Amino acid sequence: KQEVTQIPAALSVPEGENLVLNCSFTDSAIYNLQWFRQDPGKGLTSLLLIQSSQREQTSGRLNASLDKSSGRSTLYIAASQPGDSATYLCAVGNSGNTPLVFGKGTRLSVIA
């Protein structure tokens, strides 16, 4: 059974810092991995999707990497801003067209 763990559970940083959020999964035979952002009281916004054959994906100040063999992914946020404050969720798809297995998320606060 796939399990996803996110560390740390919460993180508070001053504005402008670069930061890394970690995600690990127990079964390396994944199809893809998605990073989501969730603002309080809102739904999930997809940030980046990495296919199992890819090593990383980039979007603006965000970079996500994937190391399948070690069961790890990282989300790198450059030059953090107060608007980046949210909960970041990592989710794994074990095959095509299947439900995602989520971690509990990392709650990020960027202090101005």
Partner 1 sequence: EAGVAQSPRYKIIEKRQSVAFWCNPISGHATLYWYQQILGQGPKLLIQFQNNGVVDDSQLPKDRFSAERLKGVDSTLKIQPAKLEDSAVYLCASSHPDSSYNEQFFGPGTRLTVL
Q: Name which position in 64, 73, 103, 108 contacts partner 1 (CB under 8 A).
A: 103
User: Cα–Cα distance between 78 and 80 in angstroms, integer?
Assistant: 6
The nearer residue to partner 1, 14 or 41, going by C-beta atoms, is 41
The nearer residue to partner 1, 76 or 102, going by C-beta atoms, is 102
Handedness of CA 26, 47, 86, 99 (dihedral sign): negative
Q: Of residues 46-65, which lie at the interface with partner 1 (CB under 8 A)?
A: 46, 49, 51
The nearer residue to partner 1, 32 or 65, going by C-beta atoms, is 32
User: Cα–Cα distance between 20 and 32 in angstroms, integer?
Assistant: 20
